[in-house]
Chain A
Amino acid sequence: MKTIREIAEYTLDALKKAGADHAQCVVSSGNTDELNIDGGEFSLMRTLFSSSISMKALKDGKKGTISINKFDKEAIDDAVKACIAAAESSVPDEAESIAELVQNESFTAGVMEPDRDKLFDRLEEYMSDVKKDYSKVIIEQLISSYNRSHRILMNTNGVEFSYEHGGYDISSMFSAHEGEKASSFIGYGGFFTKLDRKLIDFGMMRTLLAESERQLDTKPVEGKFVGKVVITPACLDGILMTLFGNFISDATLIDGTSPWRNRLGQKVASEKLSISTIPLDDRVVCGERFTADGYKSENMEIIKDGVLKSFMLSQYGSKKTGLPRAKNLSQSLWVRPGSTSFNDLIAGIDRGILVNRFSGGQPGTNGDFSGVAKNSFMIENGRITFALSETMINGNLAEMLNNVVDISSETVCDGMSVLPWIAFDGITISGR
């Protein structure tokens, strides 16, 4: 077996011969070149040669899944046996299935050959730019890599998708220091396919570096008040994905605890809010092309003008609940921008805070959240005034979506998502 397609064919065949009524496998191989900076200095170069097979067998309506990272026949044969044994030990479930054949397709995206020297040059330049333009900032850790992957999904219904892609990424964690004063750290990064521009100009990088220096002197909010919170693009994706995990994903829809379980087609948010997942958008680097269930991915409206349009349900979740399957299962979020500039959005806030990072406990299924506003600033009388420390925000995610004050006209793309700044009202903000 020389190609991953041959490995996938062999695996499916072996699963059928071992007794599977239906089976699916995903086979992938890839390589990574990764450069690391620690404490402001280059520290490590890492090369990874990766391989994986994930197989799923259904026998008498019972499911077993196995994943291994070996391609040799003996390892696959052992895994097939274990997969069938796991299925035989399982519990029958009518909702278990594999994708039906619609149309097979192959996809390619990104850049297939890395330029290791150019990447190193860009990282050296980034370190030099940070030192020159933001001299108080220490890059605590930076990881940048080139990743190439070829993945094939096949099932016994004849479904076959192939996706070959390659691209670069950067993840930089930094903080500002002056004597014994230090800012909170913040991490920022994203995905790209070209090395044609400075990494310091990527997305919100410069904004966050500059703000780190401003966060050397902080103070807590005085007392407690209910006010407005402006969530930046650097923070928004985490909040939205948490919300969707709680409200529109498999677990809480299957067990019936999601507050939105009966809200499809109904208003769940401010009419100002429209949110989609857009893995096929040109701005998304190497986005999802097919789902883990074996369906071709399509962009999907989740909320349009405040109305819930889709759930993020897998095929299993869909069959279990009788609700529609998601058109993609990616995390490539897009929020429709507003018509107010960021400066005007801030100018419209009497008292509130700007939040770049949220460090909080896992919100409950009911949407209650509570946590620390990190890397954040006070907004008073339409102006950003001082950097905050020891300031907590508390609220409810569902209520928050209904309390959208304004959305910026500017958006930021990090290669994964395209997001604006959003001002929400009704959040409890407390200091010491």
Chain B
Amino acid sequence: MLKDLISKYQGQLREHTELRAQVNTNRAVTLLGGNLVTNSRSDQSGVSARVYKNGVYGFASGADYNDDNIKAVLKAAEENALFMDARVNKGKKPLPGLPKGNVPLSRDVKDPEQKAYIDFARQIDAYIAEKYPKLASRIVNVRADSMEKILVVNDGHNTHSLLTRSFIYLFFTANTPDGAPVELFKVFGGYGYFDENFKSPEDLYEGINELYEKVMQKAEGVYPEAGYKQVIMHPDLAGILAHEAVGHTVEADIVLGGSVAAHNLGKPVASEIVTMIDFAHTALGEKTPLPIYVDDEGTPAEDAVLIKDGILTGYMNNRETAQHFGMKPQGNARAYLFSDEPLIRMRNTAILPGKDKLEDMIASIDDGYYLTNTNNGQADTTGEFMFGVSMGYEIKKGKIGRAIRDTTISGVAFNMLKTVDMLSDDMYWTCSGMCGKKQPMPVGMGGPAIKCKVNIGGR
């Protein structure tokens, strides 16, 4: 567990200053066709300071976590703030104050031995190798990461926090009848340490079997027909839709950069059945996949309602953009490493479920696609988005048809969301991804199945 060497400096913090000690751990094991190609452990830790002065920030960090270095980074951050203030001279007002408080660490810090990851991965790999010899390739990839922080601020909440995730990614490759490889992957795990998420390899067998069935279906699959189509997005895609297509455009720093949301606050941007929230730590009565209680500026975290009944109602802010837009900061400023400054980031972004049944949604489509898996997504400040679709099916006359090969869907978020006419009554969360925005960041995302219209790539 990270020792607290920084609280004693609280009385010395001038202006608006954040002082943060942090350790990130990453554990990785990869079996490629039974070969252990990755067996690594990485720890990155240190201390950083950020100082706000008249509209600009100075930041400094160093790896050594001792009194000398804490003083050195505080001094360097202040000098950088002074340099920027002298050169830029924005002359902005101080940031509005925050309520003071302290949120202590609420769980134990652990570090499972590397052997635990390797042994589990080998058992999974052995099961796959024996049961599915027809696979052209298999990868078993174990990943575990943690982020422990102690934050001390002169204004706001101090905190000692811990986020920990562990996952097993399985990548299967099968050959098409003409010998070309097609891939599909599945992720197991979520928030928590490896030994908490993975008790027995047998618990994964059902999911492994499903993955095999799907990749074999995909190997027999067809290219989708390119064009503007009616689709059902599986909840897996709804989460990435919430995050990429809408979420990024309503991050207030992106709004200041000219995103499409700048002109749409208070306006309808989606059909009336769409509500979207960036949850802090609790959603629909349950803990979110990545609960955040205090952000890295010392702001107590609360939910940010972004779209309510189809109307764009808010942005995600840090303290500075909240002041600019006259909004309340809700705890979206997050930093990845000790050497990173807090940026406006999503936490657990989701479209809320509706009232429809998935089977009714499929039955309502005469000619379209059911898109079940995604492998990446990107969005534009214009709201134009793209997701890679790694698995899906044709829908013909209300029935599921042939599997489809890899494709991509695209659309313009605030146009596409207006085509949403059905939402399933269930909810699916994931937190296995990393959001990229100068720094990587673990994020949670979720939603129901969505019926809408998008462009689909194909031949």
Q: Chain A: residues with CB nearer than 8 A to chain B?
A: 38-51, 63-72, 79, 82-83, 85-87, 89-91, 93, 95, 116, 120, 124, 138, 140-141, 143, 173, 175, 177, 180, 182-185, 224, 250-251, 254-257, 259, 316, 320, 359-366, 368, 370-372, 374, 389-390, 392-394, 428, 430, 432
What are 29 residue pairs bridging A and B, where the CB atoms are less than 8 Å apart in the complex? A41-B90, A45-B59, A50-B339, A67-B41, A85-B113, A91-B122, A140-B254, A140-B258, A143-B438, A175-B381, A175-B382, A224-B227, A251-B37, A254-B33, A254-B35, A255-B136, A257-B137, A359-B380, A359-B386, A359-B410, A361-B387, A361-B390, A368-B406, A370-B388, A370-B407, A392-B226, A394-B408, A432-B228, A432-B455
Q: Add 4 more A-B contacts to A69-B63, A255-B33, A361-B375 (CB < 8 A).
A: A42-B56, A140-B254, A141-B438, A359-B410
Residue numbers in A under 8 Å from B55 (CB-CB): 41
Residue numbers in A under 8 Å from B59 (CB-CB): 44-47
Residue numbers in A under 8 Å from B42 (CB-CB): 66-68
Residue numbers in A under 8 Å from B406 (CB-CB): 361, 363-364, 368, 370
**Interchain CB contact (< 8 A) of A66 among B36, B40, B119:** B40
Interface pair B56/A372, CB less than 8 Å apart: no
Q: Which of B29-58 contact A (CB under 8 A)?
A: 32-33, 35-46, 55-58
Q: Chain B: residues with CB nearer than 8 A to chain A?
A: 32-33, 35-46, 55-64, 76-77, 80-81, 83-84, 87-88, 90, 113-115, 118-119, 122, 136-137, 139, 173, 176, 180-183, 226-228, 253-254, 256-260, 263, 339, 341, 374-376, 378, 380-382, 384, 386-390, 405-408, 410-412, 438, 455, 457-459
Q: Bound state CA distance, A361 and B115, in angstroms? A: 34
Residue numbers in A under 8 Å from B380 (CB-CB): 184-185, 359, 374
Q: Bound state CA distance, A41 and B181, in angstroms? A: 48
Interface pair A50/B260, CB less than 8 Å apart: no
Q: Bound state CA distance, A42 and B56, in angstroms? A: 7
Q: Which A residue sits closest to B383, measured CB to CB? A: A182
Interface pair A175/B387, CB less than 8 Å apart: no
Q: Bound state CA distance, A51 and B80, in angstroms? A: 21
Q: Which A residue sits closest to B31, measured CB to CB? A: A91
Residue numbers in A under 8 Å from B258 (CB-CB): 138, 140, 175, 177, 182
A296 to chain B, nearest CB (A): 24
Interface pair B257/A140, CB less than 8 Å apart: yes
Interface pair B56/A47, CB less than 8 Å apart: no
B146 to chain A, nearest CB (A): 15
Interface pair B260/A44, CB less than 8 Å apart: no
Residue numbers in B under 8 Å from A95 (CB-CB): 35
Interface pair A256/B84, CB less than 8 Å apart: no
**Interchain CB contact (< 8 A) of A90 among B118, B176, B254, B455:** B118
Interface pair A257/B253, CB less than 8 Å apart: no
**Interchain CB contact (< 8 A) of A140 among B176, B381, B411:** B381
Interface pair A49/B61, CB less than 8 Å apart: yes
Residue numbers in A under 8 Å from B122 (CB-CB): 91
Given A47-B76, A224-B226 in contact, is the A372-B84 Cβ separation under 8 Å? no
Given A44-B56, A361-B406, A370-B407 in contact, is the A180-B376 Cβ separation under 8 Å? no
Q: Which A residue sits closest to B264, measured CB to CB? A: A180
Interface pair B113/A89, CB less than 8 Å apart: yes
Q: Which A residue sits closest to B138, measured CB to CB? A: A255
Q: Bound state CA distance, A72 and B256, in angstroms? A: 43
Q: Which A residue sits closest to B62, measured CB to CB? A: A49
Interface pair B114/A86, CB less than 8 Å apart: yes
Interface pair A392/B455, CB less than 8 Å apart: yes
Residue numbers in B under 8 Å from A185 (CB-CB): 257, 380-382
B438 to chain A, nearest CB (A): 7
A83 to chain B, nearest CB (A): 8
> Which of A44, A47, A365 counts the most chain B CB atoms within 10 A?
A47
Interface pair A390/B260, CB less than 8 Å apart: no
Interface pair A257/B63, CB less than 8 Å apart: no
Residue numbers in A under 8 Å from B37 (CB-CB): 250-251, 254, 316
Residue numbers in A under 8 Å from B84 (CB-CB): 42, 44-45
Q: Bound state CA distance, A185 and B118, in angstroms? A: 43
**Interchain CB contact (< 8 A) of A182 among B36, B260, B388:** B260
Interface pair B41/A48, CB less than 8 Å apart: no
Q: Which A residue sits closest to B407, measured CB to CB? A: A370
**Interchain CB contact (< 8 A) of A39 among B38, B80, B257:** B257
Q: Which A residue sits closest to B343, measured CB to CB? A: A38
Q: Which B residue sits closest to A64, measured CB to CB? A: B39
Given A39-B257, A70-B64, A361-B408 in contact, is the A390-B384 Cβ separation under 8 Å? yes
Q: Bound state CA distance, A428 and B457, in angstroms? A: 9
Interface pair B183/A364, CB less than 8 Å apart: yes
Residue numbers in A under 8 Å from B438 (CB-CB): 141, 143
Residue numbers in A under 8 Å from B119 (CB-CB): 89
Q: Bound state CA distance, A361 and B380, in angstroms? A: 15
**Interchain CB contact (< 8 A) of A91 among B36, B60, B228:** B36
Residue numbers in B under 8 Å from A362 (CB-CB): 375-376, 388, 390
B459 to chain A, nearest CB (A): 6
Residue numbers in B under 8 Å from A320 (CB-CB): 35
Q: Which B residue sits closest to A138, measured CB to CB? A: B258
Residue numbers in B under 8 Å from A83 (CB-CB): 41
B287 to chain A, nearest CB (A): 31
Interface pair B45/A46, CB less than 8 Å apart: no
B252 to chain A, nearest CB (A): 9
Interface pair B63/A44, CB less than 8 Å apart: no
A223 to chain B, nearest CB (A): 9
Residue numbers in A under 8 Å from B259 (CB-CB): 182
